[in-house]
């Protein structure tokens, strides 16, 4: 038995005829009869009987109809509880992010949600390959994920809110000869010692594109996923690397130069399951993430206008 069947039975007891029930529920009489037949299959005793031309409830039917009132009342309370939960502005929203997005966006997000009554965020770092980001939406309300321009789109099982379309630049020690150039090509950088992420992570596709454009194999010395560590190794002269322009923390001994000749950008998106955005708190956090992302790229653009090419001291 289900709620619809119990509702039909209750209305039959109160209204007295199948036709009246059909009018009240705005369905056809045959639909009412079908629901009664389905309900009867789940009960061992008759629930209705004929009284002349009318269909009326048996004693068992009247008992079940009375119980249906309790069922509808409980369901109404449950729906109200869900509605209150969905409209609660200060409930907890869980967010996962890969490291550079977390470093660039989370401080702004926390400050933006500092006011009383704002959603409370529970943050967790998750550094995974592209295909492993969507499954994380099972465990978190929002997942900050990244993919390159020509990588597969996110699956239809998740909703993606675009936050940033971020350039990937070549990171060099401040005194490196290539730092004198305003931009670099794959041929400029192909013979350098490289620091890259591990295989399977999104930035490796751009590394492979650089090698293909230069028609040579790159010399990879170090595999490091954490960009703060990458910057330290670059600064120490351990090699050059790809670093995101806006979300990686600036290093005083590292300069960034734009790369031409290959697609060197990544999408940073906020992934969530469609039903999660029914919560007011989740929608509020998504809006704040959009503001944080806009401010992050705007701050960098203002710095670039004031200082010249990216990363030039």
Query: Do both 129 and 216 map to the same domain?
Result: yes
Q: Are residues 175 and 295 in the same domain?
A: yes
Domain of 223, CATH number, reads: 3.40.190.290
pLDDT band at 68 (very low <50, low <70, confident <90, very high): confident
Residue 57 forms part of a structural domain: yes
Domain presence at residue 136? yes
Residues 55 and 158 placed together within one structural domain of the fold:
no
Asked, for residue 172, whether it belongs to a domain, the answer is yes
Residue ranges of E strands in the chain: 48-51, 54-57, 92-97, 120-125, 142-148, 159-173, 193-196, 219-223, 240-244, 254-257, 265-272
What would the two tokens of residue 106 be? 């989370």
Same domain, residue pair 54 and 109? no
Instruction: Give residue 185's pLDDT.
Output: 96
**In which band, very low, low, confident or very high, does the pLDDT at 308 lie, cut at 50, 70 and 90?**
very low
Question: Residues 125-147: pLDDT tens digits?
Answer: 998 989 999 999 999 999 999 99
Q: Are residues 82 and 103 in the same domain?
A: no
- Contact assessment for residue 285 and residue 122, using Cβ atoms and an 8 Å cutoff: no
Q: Can you give the pLDDT at residue 302?
A: 44
User: How far is residue 125 CA from its own chain's centroid?
Assistant: 14
**Same structural domain, 47 and 196:** no
What does the pLDDT read at residue 75? Answer: 80
Assess if residue 256 is contained within a domain: yes
The tens digit of pLDDT for each residue in 70-112 reads 888 888 777 777 777 778 888 899 999 999 999 999 999 999 9
Mean pLDDT of 210-238: 95
Domain edge (last residue) among 52, 87, 122: 87
Q: Note the pLDDT of residue 201.
A: 84
Q: Which of 68, 87, 106 is the last residue of a domain?
A: 87
Contact 169, 241 (CB under 8 A): no
Residues 50 and 168 reside in one and the same domain: no
Reported confidence tier of residue 285, pLDDT bands at 50, 70, 90: very high
Residue pair 135/108 in contact by the 8 Å Cβ criterion: no
What's the domain range around 26? 3-87
- pTM metric for this prediction: 0.73
* C-alpha–C-alpha distance, residues 46 and 67, integer Å: 16
For 181-205, the pLDDT digits (tens) are: 999 999 999 999 999 999 888 889 8
Residue 266 has pLDDT above 80, yes or no: yes
135 & 65 share domain? no
Q: Is 64 in the same domain as 105? A: no
Residue 313 in any domain: the answer is: no
C-alpha 244: how far from its chain's center?
A: 21
CATH value at residue 75: 1.10.10.10
Same domain, 156 and 279: yes
Report the pLDDT value the prediction gives residue 292, as an integer from 0 to 100. 95
With respect to residue 234, please indicate whether it lies within any of the assigned structural domains. Answer: yes
| Six token digits for residue 81 | 């509880």
Q: 151 and 291, same structural domain?
A: yes
- pLDDT averaged over every residue in the chain: 89
pLDDT band at 2 (very low <50, low <70, confident <90, very high): confident
Residue by residue, DSSP assigns 116-143 as TTSPEEEEEE----GGGTGGGGGT-SEE
Residue 312 maps to a domain: no
The arithmetic mean of pLDDT across residues 166-191, rounded, is 95
DSSP-derived letter for residue 23 is H
Q: Quick check: 102 and 144 in contact, CB under 8 A? A: yes
The confidence score (pLDDT) of residue 24 equals: 87
Query: Has residue 174 been placed in a domain?
Result: yes
197 three-class SS: coil
Which of 37, 53, 87 is the C-terminal boundary of a domain? 87
Is it the case that residue 114 has pLDDT exceeding 50?
yes
pLDDT at 311 over 60: no
Domain count, the chain: 2
Tell whether 112 and 199 lie within a shared domain: yes
């Amino acid at each position: 038995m289900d709620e619809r069947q119990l509702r039909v039975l209750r209305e039959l007891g109160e209204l007295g005829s199948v036709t009246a029930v059909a009018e009240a529920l705005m369905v056809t009489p045959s639909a009412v009869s079908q629901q009664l037949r389905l309900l009867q299959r789940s009960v061992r005793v008759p629930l209705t009987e004929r009284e002349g031309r009318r269909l009326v409830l048996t004693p068992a039917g009247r008992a079940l109809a009375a119980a249906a009132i309790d069922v509808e009342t409980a369901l109404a309370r449950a729906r109200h509880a869900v509605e209150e939960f969905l409209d609660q502005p200060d409930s907890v929203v869980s967010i996962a992010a890969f490291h550079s997005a977390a470093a660039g966006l989370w401080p702004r997000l926390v400050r933006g949600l500092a006011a009383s009554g704002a959603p409370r965020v529970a943050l967790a770092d998750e550094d995974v390959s592209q295909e492993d980001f969507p499954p994380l939406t099972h465990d978190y309300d929002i997942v900050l994920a990244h993919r390159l321009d020509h990588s597969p789109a996110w699956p239809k099982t998740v909703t993606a809110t675009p936050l940033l379309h971020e350039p990937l630049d070549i990171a060099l020690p401040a005194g490196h000869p290539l730092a004198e150039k305003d931009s670099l090509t794959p041929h400029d950088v192909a013979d350098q010692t490289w620091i890259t992420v591990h295989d399977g992570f999104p930035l490796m596709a751009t590394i492979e594109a650089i090698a293909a454009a230069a028609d040579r194999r790159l010399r990879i010395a170090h595999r490091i996923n954490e960009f703060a560590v990458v910057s330290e190794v670059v600064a120490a002269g351990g090699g050059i690397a790809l670093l995101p322009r806006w979300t990686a923390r600036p290093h005083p001994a590292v300069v960034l130069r734009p790369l031409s000749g290959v697609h060197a950008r990544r999408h940073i998106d906020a992934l969530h399951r469609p039903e999660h955005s029914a919560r007011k708190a989740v929608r509020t956090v998504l809006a704040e993430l959009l503001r944080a992302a806009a401010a992050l790229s705007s701050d960098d653009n203002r710095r670039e206008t004031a200082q010249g090419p990216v990363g030039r001291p």
